[in-house]
Chains A and B, each alone.
Chain A
């Protein structure tokens, strides 16, 4: 099972970087981008796990990750566009009033 463990390590690093980005950036779109970085980490992990088990389930699930990413991008960006139209800014802080 070549590469499996290094791939997992790489996936973990990507996930961590994406997490930090999501927590620190204030631009709505960049926050979305950071979640996509985390997706990439997960994708690498899935590939690695598939390698480890010697089957294609990891890659099959990778395709579903793609689907989820596409859905997330479509809906998320639609919402971002709507928010931008309202406030004229992409700052996540400008929507702090959205609390119960």
Chain B
């Protein structure tokens, strides 16, 4: 098939996927779920086909790549559609792990390790932490309405579809020039990454550090619960006397 033909296949797949996403988004009742699932399977198959055959990249026939693509996209869809926030977060962990594996496939081992350590190991734990703090595993009122109803799913899906279709069209139709330098795979290890980051991007690295510092201080300043210094409640008159702030010896 020609490249032009694949473009229309890709648009069809994107439309199918958009439809599936529209149907699968939570909207308070489960009636469309099955249809969404069917369309989703179809569009996923289409996507994998496009990835495998449509891009003229023989290396994409690698089975690992296809499996990981499936996990990544499927996980991302579940992140978006799952009505329970904790599951969303856990599916996102899956997305991150699959992305890390994809990075390994692309020869970016260091980035993969960093992705797992920082994203899955720290950022997402924080997400899970906050979600869990906010919502118990099974609240008495059942699932919360704002988790089970999507907001303007139609327009959003259309926007997403147009974006993906545009990008896909550009990716397919562009005559991508051949690679300029050496194949990056051979050189991509921790050492060369470190050399790159610490020499060419040294200033960016410093800036990233400053950014992290500022964010840390900012987060502390925002989230810290202030102790009311000047409006402390009046002391409880009924409390037993003699206990007020007494000093004791340690041992």
Which chain A residues have a beta carbon within 8 Å of chain B's beta carbons? Answer: 1-10, 12-21, 23-27, 29-30, 32-34, 36-37, 40, 43-44, 47-48, 50-60, 62-64, 66-71, 73-75, 77-82, 84-85, 89-93
**Are B69 and A6 in contact (CB-based, < 8 A)?**
yes
Docked complex Cα distance between A92 and B85 (Å): 14
Residues on B with C-beta less than 8 A from A82 are 222-223
Question: CA–CA, A45 to B151, complex, Å?
Answer: 29
Q: Which residues of B contact A44 (CB under 8 A)?
A: 99, 102
Known interface pairs A29-B127, A75-B222; A40-B96 also in contact (CB < 8 Å): yes
Contacts of B126 in A (CB 8 A): 73-74, 77
- In B34-63, the 8 Å CB interface with A consists of 47, 50-51, 55-57, 59-60
Summarize A's interface: helix, strand, loop or mixed: helix
Q: Is the interface of B mostly helix, strand, loop or mixed?
A: helix
Q: Could you tell me which B residues sit within 8 Å of A by CB distance?
A: 14, 17, 21, 25, 47, 50-51, 55-57, 59-60, 65, 69, 72-73, 76-77, 79-80, 85, 88-89, 92, 95-96, 99, 102-103, 105-108, 110-111, 114-115, 118-119, 122-123, 126-127, 130-131, 133-135, 144, 146-147, 149-153, 155-157, 159-161, 163-164, 167-168, 171, 176, 178-185, 187-188, 192-193, 196-197, 200-201, 204, 208, 211-212, 215-216, 218-220, 222-223, 225
A92 to B122 CA separation, bound complex (whole angstroms)? 25
Question: Residues of A contacting B57 with CB < 8 Å?
Answer: 2-6
Q: Collect the chain A residues with CB atoms within 8 Å of residue B215's CB.
A: 70-71, 74-75
A47:B111 contact, CB within 8 angstroms? yes
Task: Give Cα A23 to B163, complex, Å.
Answer: 13
Flag if A26 contacts B123 (CB, 8 Å).
Answer: no
Pairwise interchain contact B219-A78, C-beta atoms closer than 8 A: yes
**How many contacts between A and B, using CB within 8 angstroms?**
273
Chain B residues, Cβ within 8 Å of A20 = 21, 80, 156-157, 159-160
Q: Which of A37, A52, A53 has the most chain B CB atoms closer than 10 A to its own CB?
A: A37
Whether A43 touches B99, Cβ cut-off 8 Å, given contacts A59-B188, A66-B119, is yes
* Contact A5 to B56, CB < 8 A, known contacts A14-B72, A37-B95, A66-B119: yes
Q: How far is the CB of A14 from chain B (nearest CB, A)?
A: 5
* CB contact between A63 and one of B80, B111, B179 (< 8 Å): that residue: B111
Tell me the complex Cα distance, A25–B144, Å: 12
